[in-house]
Amino acid sequence: MIYFDNGATSFPKPPQVASAVMAALAAPASPGRSGHAAAMSAGRTVHRARKAMARLFGIKDNSRLCFGPNVTWALNAALFGLNLQKGDHVLSGTLEHNSTARPLDRLRRERGVDWEAVPSRGGRMLAEDFKSRLRPETRLIVLNHASNVTGALAPAREIKEAAGGVPLLLDAAQTAGSVPLDDAGDWVDLLAFTGHKGLLGPTGTGGLYVSPEIELLPFSVGGSGSRSESLEHPGFLPDALEAGTANTHGLAGLAAGVEYLLERGVPAVREHELGLAGLFLEKIGGVPGVSVQGPKLGEEDRVAAVSLNLAGWSSSDLAAALEREHGILVRPGLHCAPLTHRELGTFPGGSARFSFGPFNTADEIAAGARALASLAAGGGR
């Protein structure tokens, strides 16, 4: 099997991730819920993940880093926690995932929030296009840091600098662990991430960093292990956003994944992944009938997801043939990003996405390109 679906979930994980999950599963107790040694140990496991994430993002106060099950949870926690009301204006890109677009659509329908999606220019988001749409009532900018369809990287810092103090909610689903964000704590107001992609952790892990200037209303309340005497859920972080027992087992794996990244270095991972994407684009350059959606060969403001279509093939047939004939796993369809595919003109059929990770090799890239050429030449039908 050749795995080119790292944009969905990274594979393989560093071996220490599975070891850490197994070790956590083999130990009793819930973090922060008792004072015995096993509970202390579980608490330290979660804390290790928190410290690793804070280091990765350059966050000074790790208690503002809250864990949840995934980036969708984080985006919902932010979007609903800001208590946006009728007339509040929110800007987003058009290259957003449904994890952002659906909560925004709901806020628009149910609360009368004025959501405006800034169009891209040829699949690129530009800071000036956000700046020109700012209004006195603009409460938030939401931005997909990199398109999960095309891999196009948005100029997030430029957009933040152009925002005139409007908070930025950055969806780092496709960039955390793949693009250096070690200064994010200095300029990102709300940073949503998931553990199972570039951070190399298990599914069911993710989180939200909340800068000191932002106050969120928790949309889920319950047990926190703190202020137990009160029916009112604590307002301090991370407890405010971490109602219920944490996913200690998953977070043990996330800590191991992030510690691996910190040791290898995110810039080194980025160089590796950009190299693979470039090599793939180079090798498929001469394959007849291939159209690449998004950044082309030589464009480096991207992550290592390459979406393409092959003339005469639906994206799903192409993905099925790649798996059946060549053992190559890619993701076809809309990638939960219909707005992006409408923008690209590939709606509703979508595209086939090849997304590379830190453990893919040049040989696998060559095999992927050969497989595509073979299918383009009529193989596999």
Partner 1 sequence: MAGPEIILVFASNTLILNAEDLLEERGLPFTLVPVPKEVNPNCGLAISFVESDHDLILPVLEAAGLRPAMAYRRHGDDFSSWPLSH
Of residues 43 and 218, the one with the C-beta less far from partner 1: 43
Of residues 51 and 157, the one with the C-beta less far from partner 1: 51
Least separation, in Å, of the C-beta of 332 and partner 1?
A: 42
Residue of 206, 245, 220, 235 lying closest to 39 (CA atoms): 245
CA dist list (Å): 100 to 80, 291, 336: 11, 27, 10
Least separation, in Å, of the C-beta of 44 and partner 1?
A: 6
Least separation, in Å, of the C-beta of 65 and partner 1?
A: 9
Phi/psi-derived region of residue 333, left when phi > 0, alpha when psi is between -120 and 50, beta in every other case: left
**Taking CB under 8 A as the criterion, which residues in 54-93 touch partner 1?**
61-63
Of residues 19 and 63, the one with the C-beta less far from partner 1: 63
Q: Which residues pair with 353 in a beta bridge?
A: 307, 331
> Which residues neighbour 37 within 8 Å (Cβ) at sequence distance 6 or greater?
none
Both tokens of 126, joined, read 């530009």
Q: Which stretch binds partner 1 (CB under 8 A): 174-182, 221-229, 255-263, 358-366?
A: 221-229
Of residues 35 and 298, the one with the C-beta less far from partner 1: 35
Of residues 171 and 239, the one with the C-beta less far from partner 1: 239
Decide the pairing of beta strands 168-171 and 138-144: parallel
Least separation, in Å, of the C-beta of 40 and partner 1?
A: 6
**Taking CB under 8 A as the criterion, which residues in 235-264 touch partner 1?**
236-239
Both tokens of 156, joined, read 């997030």
Of residues 14 and 32, the one with the C-beta less far from partner 1: 32
Residue owning tokens 């009301």: 85
Pair 243, 227: CB distance under 8 Å: no
Q: Which amino acid is at 283?
A: K
Residue 357 lies near partner 1 (rule: CB under 8 A): no
Neighbours of 157 (CB within 10 A): 16
Burial tier of 347 (Cβ tally within 10 Å: 0-12, 13-18, 19+):
middle
Least separation, in Å, of the C-beta of 231 and partner 1?
A: 13
**Taking CB under 8 A as the criterion, which residues in 39-58 touch partner 1?**
40, 43-44, 47, 50-51
Q: Which residues pair with 3 in a beta bridge?
A: 329
Of residues 135 and 227, the one with the C-beta less far from partner 1: 227
Question: Which 3 state secondary structure label does DSSP give 152?
Answer: strand
Of residues 221 and 292, the one with the C-beta less far from partner 1: 221
Least separation, in Å, of the C-beta of 259 and partner 1?
A: 15
Least separation, in Å, of the C-beta of 255 and partner 1?
A: 13
Pair 273, 359: CB distance under 8 Å: no
Residue 31 lies near partner 1 (rule: CB under 8 A): yes
Residue 228 lies near partner 1 (rule: CB under 8 A): yes
Residue 164 lies near partner 1 (rule: CB under 8 A): no
Decide the pairing of beta strands 2-3 and 328-329: parallel
Residue 35 lies near partner 1 (rule: CB under 8 A): yes
Which residues lie near partner 1 (CB under 8 A)? 31-36, 40, 43-44, 47, 50-51, 61-63, 225-229, 234, 236-239
